[in-house]
Amino acid sequence: MVLLEGIRAMKLELKGITKEFDQGNGNNAVILQDISLQINEQEVVGILGPSGCGKTTLLRVIAGLEQPTHGQVLLDGEAVTKPSARMGMIFQEHALLPWRSVLDNVSLGLEMQEMSRKERQEKAMKYLELVGLQESAHSRPYELSGGMRQRAAVARALVLEPSLLLMDEPFSALDPQTRKQIQEDIIRIQETTAKAIVFVTHSVEEAIFLADRLVILSAKPGRVQELLEVKLERPRDRMSPQFLEMRERVLGLLGGG
């Protein structure tokens, strides 16, 4: 299946992003400090860092769900000031609407664009097939397993054909077997749909398996500690010496960070 009709040239730029949160006692906590990054078309970027360093916050700033205190997020040169359909987001907890069937969840974005019922169901079905969920189209989200819910969330994010996909620890609640399977599917989907992906994870293995590039953040305040390219051939073998070597290196950076 080829789903390339939605692709456009894409460039995401973060320019000196600083994010402070009011702590309620008059002090501001600096969570992110001066983060500058560029993410190109079709690139897969993994964000790693200790817990609480601001990974989720960074992703939310990119998505426009949170405003940076200083700096700018530019998508194709345009400042991102609010959420838009040009980016798709997959939340840690699927965030599917429980009163809608899986199909109706996936087609909601199209429904709001006033696409006809038939058309949007066809299109939603196409993306459900892509994530292997066509059989469950008419189930409610709570009738699905955790892995299937995340797949539905992926289909929902893809259906609007965003040029960039954001994922915040999307698979952290899944068992290792399901997780591996869905990681492989993500690679396949990325290749068929040619999206750029920015994802957050705690799993170094997941990060190396998926990403072209890794961003390692340091804690308090969150800064870019290290940028690494993952120059491993795809499909990647988690057991290959190069993979394991890379893993050691990243673990060292995180531990010593």
Partner 1 sequence: MILIWQALALYVNNPFVLPTLEAVLSVLLKPTADILGSGSLLENARLSLVRVTLGFLIAAFLAVPLGVAIGRWEVFKDVSEGLISSLRPVPPLAWVPLAMAWLKIGLASMVFIIALGAFFPILLSTAQGVRGVKRSWQEAVSMMGAGEVHLITKVILPGSAPEIWTGMRVGFGIAWMCVVAAEMLPGTSSGLGYLIMYAYGWGQIQVVVAGMVAIGILGILIDRFFIAVERKWFSWRAYER
Ligand X SMILES: Nc1ncnc2c1ncn2[C@@H]1O[C@H](COP(=O)(O)OP(=O)(O)OP(=O)(O)O)[C@@H](O)[C@H]1O
> Which residues of this protein are in contact with ligand X, per CB under 6 A?
21, 31, 49, 51-57
Closer Cβ to partner 1, 166 or 250, answer by number: 166
Partner from Mg ion, ligand X, partner 1, none binding residue 227, C-beta < 5-8 Å depending on class? none
Partner from ligand X, Mg ion, partner 1, none binding residue 88, C-beta < 5-8 Å depending on class? partner 1
Closer Cβ to partner 1, 93 or 226, answer by number: 93
Q: Is 56 in the site for Mg ion (CB under 5 A)?
A: yes
Nearest-approach distance from CB 188 to ligand X, in angstroms: 27
Closer Cβ to partner 1, 112 or 227, answer by number: 112
Beta bridge partner(s), residue 173: none
Nearest-approach distance from CB 63 to partner 1, in angstroms: 7
72-80 long-range contacts, CB within 8 A, separation 24+:
72/13, 72/14, 72/15, 72/16, 72/17, 73/12, 73/13, 73/14, 73/15, 73/17, 74/11, 74/12, 74/13, 74/14, 74/15, 75/10, 75/11, 75/12, 75/164, 76/9, 76/10, 76/11, 77/11, 77/13
**90 near 150, Cβ under 8 Å?**
yes
Closer Cβ to partner 1, 59 or 228, answer by number: 59
Closer Cβ to partner 1, 47 or 89, answer by number: 89
β-sheet with 11-22: strand ranges across: 28-40, 11-22, 70-75, 78-79
Torsion of CA 210, 49, 10, 108, to 10 degrees: 80
Question: CA-to-CA distance for 105 and 113, rounded, in angstroms?
Answer: 14
Q: Is 181 in the site for Mg ion (CB under 5 A)?
A: no
Partner from Mg ion, ligand X, partner 1, none binding residue 31, C-beta < 5-8 Å depending on class? ligand X
Closer Cβ to ligand X, 55 or 123, answer by number: 55
The two three-digit tokens of residue 249, written as one number: 């290196």
Residue ranges that bind partner 1, judged by CB under 8 A:
63, 65, 82-85, 87-89, 91, 93, 95-99, 108-109, 111-113, 140, 142, 156-157, 160
Tell me which residue of 69, 58, 80, 68 sits closest to 12, measured CA to CA: 80
Nearest-approach distance from CB 30 to partner 1, in angstroms: 24
Nearest-approach distance from CB 200 to Mg ion, in angstroms: 6
Partner from ligand X, Mg ion, partner 1, none binding residue 51, C-beta < 5-8 Å depending on class? ligand X
Any idea which residue has 């987001």 for tokens? 89
